[in-house]
């Protein structure tokens, strides 16, 4: 095939990018080379629109062992233990083929983690669908949940937490973000940097097929009406092979023969080999005839661009090939020496004794395009004033019941019951709480993780929204008694070529940066997904934040269920009555304008750290952060979980009841304490200048407000649990 500008454009490259390739090579690339460039220079692999802005994120900290740039981030959890973690998107494929798209998303992120030598110990996910009324939503949701379960369950890794939301902006572009945590010894972490000359380059895992060719390019473009035709670009997963690959890799890693290892994810053999060469400042030579293929007559172009799953590339110390092969034979996996490291600093590919590609590595990596895209700064919207006549007819209990059945608040049990969340025998906090918690096997330590996003806030004001998501993650970890350590982010946005979408990206990243800097909650890994867009319609900006924290003694973990009758319930943090962009405003008043709640980073840090002090002093019986739906929703969930009621007395505030109960002011927690501890708790809160209100007392099974209105917890529980089950069984 003759390569020209049109062929390059068909590969998703821009005309000037093609000109740059010809200039760098000082010739016209052949088709295999063009394929390689298109795979490396697309948005998904090159981060060409985002790199400039991602550089501003804080990535360092006392506990950070490895920040962004490797397969995953690594943090120190003491005693020579470390946690490897990352979140990644698989949005585009999941919309085209929900089961395989979601399954391979989970498989891909687990591979990123065990590539570094860590055994995966927990999975999480953040999934977002269109309006429940949209004709595709139900099938997409079912397919994605089955896909996530199908892969994670088979791998034997518990799925311990997640987030699901519905919003019409995802009608044409759902989001599927998968996160994995792995456990590794600090001195046994593996990296992707190749080193040494003439070292064997080894291919292990599944055979290469024609699936997923150009998957990364597909994920770097908007959708249109012909999207169904893209089905062949979706990879097909085989969790069984991945389980074998995991065990085989960990077995090989127990020795010291590996110099570098990299999984074949997006852009397959192309990006894995180039990444290893680039990091090691070396060249790699590959004989493509040696690559194990599943199908006959595969061309070099297809072999290099296939995104077949469950494959790894390893640079081995010379002389260890036989020993390593034995391990992969035992697990019935392919093992092939396909090339070697060279000093050429080039990628040189041979096929049928002919050289089919010859590209300097730096042209693919350092010289890849980087754009300073135009972007528009968002204005802070004007506040709405709630009119008395709009709310005077509303009864708090009725509104609460409505909110509890809202698709974004209702119980997601239908989803997480389909995920094995207890395998490995260390899950001590299951899905449905503020964060999932797993013990570090055989120790007193536990790791907490949560994944959060607040697309509505980010859409209303990206800078505030960006900050808020990081704070929410911080809060969720603290609510279970964990000290927050670091985050990973999955940045889901529309087209970077649209100034408004690009502005949303830039300002959300700025917000994330500011909050993570202030809270000492650095970003150690992440992924950007642009072009979540169908024709001109983009999603609401949805940065998802995966937070990880440590509980030193798992017996001190906190859960959100109310524990004991007559215990006292307090709210930490001040309630100002911010209603704009709250679930109440958007769904009950149908008011979609206005700014999101303000984020005060000082209060966030101070309130959170003070709560951790209370937990350290064994003064907290249960805790839950206040988020969607405000105080009353948070309290109702604690009642439902604990099968207990509460007598609420609204404090004498200037704001009215509706504002008090449904406002979504930030940095607040509900806590349960024993009455006899009140003075101790109050002293600690006062000493640390943390505002708190007394909210009420726990009772047997009813929610009372000011001794007047009441509802049974059973009734609230039924409303909360039934929506999703009913929706899916209709």
Partner 1 sequence: MKSSVITFPGSNCDRDMDVALKKFGFKNKMVWHADAELPKSDLVVLPGGFSYGDYLRCGSMASKSKIMQSVINFANSGGMVMGICNGFQILVETGLVPGVLLRNKYLEFICKNVFVKINDKKNKYFKNVDNEVLEFHIAHNEGNYFCTNDQLKEIEDNNQIAINYCDKNGKIEDQFNPNGSLKNIAGIFNKEKNVLGMMPHPERMIDTSLSGEDGSLFFKNLINNLK
Which active-site residues does the annotation give? 44, 90
- Residue 423 touches partner 1, criterion: CB under 8 A: yes
Q: What are phi and psi of 454, to 5 degrees?
A: -140, 75
Nearest to 280 by CA among 195, 366, 190: 195
Among 28, 384, 417, 709, binds partner 1 (CB under 8 A): 417
Q: Look at residue 163 and give its three-state secondary structure.
A: strand
- Contacts to partner 1 from residues 109-128, by CB under 8 A: none
Q: Is 240 in the site for partner 1 (CB under 8 A)?
A: yes
Nearest to 35 by CA among 234, 302, 307, 283: 302
424 in contact with partner 1 (CB under 8 A): yes
Closest Cα partner for 359 from 369, 344, 370? 344
Q: Verify binding: residue 296, partner 1, rule CB under 8 A.
A: no
Q: What are phi and psi of 20, to 5 degrees?
A: -65, -40
CB of 549 to partner 1, least distance (A): 17
**How many residues at the interface with partner 1, by CB under 8 A?**
30
Helix (H, G, I), strand (E, B), or coil: what is residue 532?
A: coil
Work out which of 37, 554, 692, 704 binds partner 1, going by CB under 8 A: 554
Q: Please give the angle made by the CA atoms of 579, 584 and 585, to the nearest 5 degrees.
A: 60
Nearer to partner 1, 76 or 334 (CB): 334
Residue 149 interacts with partner 1 (CB under 8 A)?
A: yes
Alpha-carbon span 47 to 43, nearest angstrom: 5
Q: Return the number of the residue (551 or 571) whose C-beta is nearest partner 1.
A: 551
Contact letters (x/-) for partner 1, 623-662, by CB under 8 A?
Answer: ----------------------------------------
Asked if 421 touches partner 1 (CB under 8 A), the answer is: yes
Question: CA–CA separation, 321 vs 325, rounded Å?
Answer: 6
State which residue, 418 or 701, has the beta carbon closest to partner 1.
Answer: 418
Site string for partner 1, 314-333 (x = CB under 8 A): -----------------xx-
Q: Are strands 159-166 and 73-76 parallel, antiparallel or unpaired?
A: unpaired
Stretch that binds partner 1, among 304-312, 337-345, 414-422, 475-483 (CB under 8 A): 414-422
What number of H helices and E strands is found in the chain?
26, 28
Task: Say how many C-beta atoms besides its own lie within 10 A of residue 699's C-beta.
Answer: 18
Q: Among 67, 73, 200, 239, indicate the residue that binds partner 1 (CB under 8 A).
A: 239
Q: Which residues pair with 624 in a beta bridge?
A: 670
CB of 119 to partner 1, least distance (A): 10
Least distance in Å: CB of 331 to partner 1?
A: 7
Q: How far apart are CA 115 and CA 487, in angstroms?
A: 19
In 375-514 the beta strands, taken as DSSP E runs, fall at 427-429, 436-439, 446-452, 483-492
- 72 CB-contact burial (10 Å; exposed 0-12 / middle 13-18 / buried 19+): buried
Q: Which is nearer to partner 1, 709 or 722 (CB)?
A: 722
Q: Does 418 bind partner 1 (CB under 8 A)?
A: yes
User: Min. distance of Cβ 113 from partner 1 in angstroms?
Assistant: 16
Residue span binding partner 1 (CB under 8 A) among the ranges 239-247, 262-270, 466-474, 624-632: 239-247
Stretch that binds partner 1, among 287-295, 423-431, 563-571, 683-691 (CB under 8 A): 423-431
Q: Where are the beta strands (DSSP E) in 242-309?
A: 258-263, 283-287
Please, what is the minimum distance in Å from the beta carbon of residue 551 to partner 1? 11
Among the candidate windows 65-73, 144-152, 539-547, 616-624, which touches partner 1 by CB under 8 A?
Answer: 144-152
Contact in structure between 235 and 215 (CB atoms under 8 Å): yes
DSSP assignment of 488-527, as one string?
Answer: EEEEE-S-TTSHHHHHHHHHHHHHHHHHHHHTT--EEEEE
CB 651 within 8 A of CB 704: no
Shortest distance, position 227 Cβ to partner 1, whole Å: 27
Smallest distance from the beta carbon of 293 to partner 1, in angstroms?
A: 21
Strand order in the sheet with 568-572: 622-625, 669-673, 568-572, 692-699, 645-648, 702-705, 709-712
Write out the binding residues for partner 1, residues 219-238 only, by CB under 8 A: 238
Distances, alpha carbon 638 to alpha carbons 278, 386, 621, 671, 697, in Å: 51, 28, 12, 10, 13
- Between 240 and 653, whose beta carbon lies closer to partner 1? 240
Nearer to partner 1, 68 or 239 (CB): 239
**Binding span for partner 1 by CB under 8 A among 143-151, 175-183, 191-199, 570-578:** 143-151
Question: Nearer to partner 1 by C-beta: 254 or 689?
Answer: 254
Of 43-51, 320-328, 419-427, 544-552, the window that binds partner 1 (rule: CB under 8 A) is 419-427
How far apart are alpha carbons 547 and 35 in whole angstroms?
Answer: 36
Q: Which is nearer to partner 1, 458 or 482 (CB)?
A: 482
SS (H, E, C) 47-82: CCCCHHHHCCCCCCCCCEEECECECCEEEECCCCEE
Structure tokens at 582: 């709250």
Q: Which of 420, 472, 504, 693: binder of partner 1 (CB under 8 A)?
A: 420
In the complex, minimum distance from the CB of residue 236 to partner 1, in angstroms, rounded to a whole number? 13
Q: Which of residues 150-179 bind partner 1 (CB under 8 A)?
A: 150, 153-156
**Hey, which residues does 200 pair with through a beta bridge?**
340
Closest to partner 1 by CB, 420 vs 625, is: 420
Q: Which one, 87 or 428, has the nearer CB to partner 1?
A: 428
Give the contact letters, 664-703, x = binds to partner 1 (CB under 8 A), - = no: ----------------------------------------
Task: Please choose, out of 58-66, 195-203, 420-428, 618-626, the segment that lies near partner 1 by the rule CB under 8 A.
Answer: 420-428
Find out whether 241 and 206 touch, Cβ atoms under 8 Å.
yes
The CA distances from residue 329 to 250, 251, 323, 332, in Å, are 14, 12, 10, 5
Residue 417: CB minimum distance to partner 1, A: 6
Q: x/- site string to partner 1, residues 430 to 459, per CB under 8 A?
A: ---------x--------------------
Run of H or E including 242: helix 239-253
Among 184, 428, 485, 713, indicate the residue that binds partner 1 (CB under 8 A): 428
> Where do contacts with partner 1 occur on this chain (CB under 8 A)?
146, 149-150, 153-156, 238-241, 243-244, 331-332, 416-425, 427-428, 439, 554-555
């Amino acid at each position: 095939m003759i390569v020209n500008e049109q062929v390059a454009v068909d590969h998703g490259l821009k005309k000037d990018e093609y000109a740059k390739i010809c200039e760098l090579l000082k010739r016209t690339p052949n088709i295999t080379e063009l394929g390689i460039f298109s795979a490396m220079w697309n948005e998904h692999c090159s981060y060409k629109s985002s790199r400039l802005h991602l550089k501003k994120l804080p990535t360092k900290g006392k506990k950070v062992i490895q920040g962004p740039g490797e397969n995953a981030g690594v943090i120190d959890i003491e005693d020579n233990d470390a946690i490897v973690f990352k979140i990644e998107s698989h949005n585009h494929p999941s919309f085209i083929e929900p089961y395989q798209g979601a399954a391979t998303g989970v498989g891909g992120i687990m591979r990123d983690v065990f590539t570094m030598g860590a055994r995966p110990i927990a999975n999480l996910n953040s999934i977002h669908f269109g309006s429940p009324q949209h004709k595709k939503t139900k099938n997409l949701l079912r397919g994605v949940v089955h896909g996530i379960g199908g892969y994670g369950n088979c791998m034997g890794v518990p799925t311990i937490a997640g987030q699901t939301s519905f919003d019409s902006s995802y009608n044409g572009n759902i989001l599927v973000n998968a996160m994995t945590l792995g456990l590794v010894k600090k001195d046994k972490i593996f990296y992707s940097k190749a080193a040494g000359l003439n070292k064997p380059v080894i291919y292990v895992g599944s055979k290469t097929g024609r699936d997923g060719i150009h998957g990364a390019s597909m994920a770097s473009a908007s959708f249109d009406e012909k999207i169904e035709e893209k089905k062949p670009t979706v990879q097909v997963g085989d969790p069984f092979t991945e389980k074998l690959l995991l065990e085989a890799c960990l077995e090989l890693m127990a020795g010291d023969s590996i110099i570098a290892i990299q999984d074949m994810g997006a852009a397959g053999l192309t990006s894995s080999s180039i990444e290893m060469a680039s990091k090691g400042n070396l060249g790699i030579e590959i004989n493509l005839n040696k690559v194990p293929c599943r199908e006959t007559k595969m061309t070099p172009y297809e072999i290099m661009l296939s995104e077949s799953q469950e494959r790894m590339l390893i640079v081995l110390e010379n002389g260890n090939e036989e020993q390593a092969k034995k391990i992969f034979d035992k697990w019935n996996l392919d093992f092939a020496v396909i090339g070697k490291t060279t000093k050429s600093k080039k990628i040189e590919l041979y096929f049928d004794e002919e050289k089919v590609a010859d590209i300097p590595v730096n042209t693919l990596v350092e010289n890849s395009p980087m754009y300073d895209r135009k972007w528009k700064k968002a204005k802070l919207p004007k506040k709405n004033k709630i009119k008395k006549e709009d709310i005077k007819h509303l009864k708090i209990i009725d509104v609460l019941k409505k909110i509890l059945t809202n698709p974004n608040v209702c119980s997601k049990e239908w989803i997480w019951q389909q995920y094995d969340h207890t395998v490995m025998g260390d899950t001590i906090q299951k899905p449905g709480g503020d964060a999932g918690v797993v013990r570090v096997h055989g120790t007193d330590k536990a790791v907490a993780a949560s994944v959060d996003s607040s697309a509505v806030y980010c859409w209303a004001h990206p800078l505030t929204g960006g900050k808020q998501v990081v704070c929410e993650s911080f809060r969720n970890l603290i609510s279970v008694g964990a000290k927050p350590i670091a985050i990973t982010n999955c940045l889901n946005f529309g087209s970077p070529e649209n100034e408004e979408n690009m502005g949303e990206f830039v300002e959300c990243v700025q917000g994330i940066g500011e909050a993570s800097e202030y809270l000492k909650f650095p970003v150690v890994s992440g992924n950007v997904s642009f072009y979540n867009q169908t024709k001109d319609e983009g999603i609401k900006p949805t940065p998802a934040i995966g937070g990880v924290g440590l509980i030193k003694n798992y017996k001190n973990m906190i859960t959100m269920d109310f524990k004991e009758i007559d215990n006292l319930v307090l709210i930490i943090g001040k309630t100002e009555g911010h209603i704009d962009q709250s679930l109440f405003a958007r769904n009950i008043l149908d008011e979609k304008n206005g700014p999101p709640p303000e984020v005060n980073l000082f209060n966030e840090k101070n309130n959170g750290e003070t709560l951790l002090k209370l937990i350290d002093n064994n003064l907290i019986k249960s805790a839950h952060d206040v988020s969607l739906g405000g105080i009353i929703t948070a309290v109702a969930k604690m009642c439902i979980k604990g099968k207990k009621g509460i007598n609420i007395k609204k404090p004498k505030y200037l704001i009215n009841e509706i504002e008090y109960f449904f406002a979504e002011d930030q940095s607040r927690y509900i806590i349960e304490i024993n009455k006899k501890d009140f003075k101790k708790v109050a002293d600690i809160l006062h000493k640390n200048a943390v505002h708190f209100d007394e909210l009420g007392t726990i009772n047997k099974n009813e929610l009372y407000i000011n001794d007047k209105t009441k509802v049974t917890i059973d009734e609230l529980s039924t409303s909360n649990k039934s929506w999703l089950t009913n929706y899916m069984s209709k």
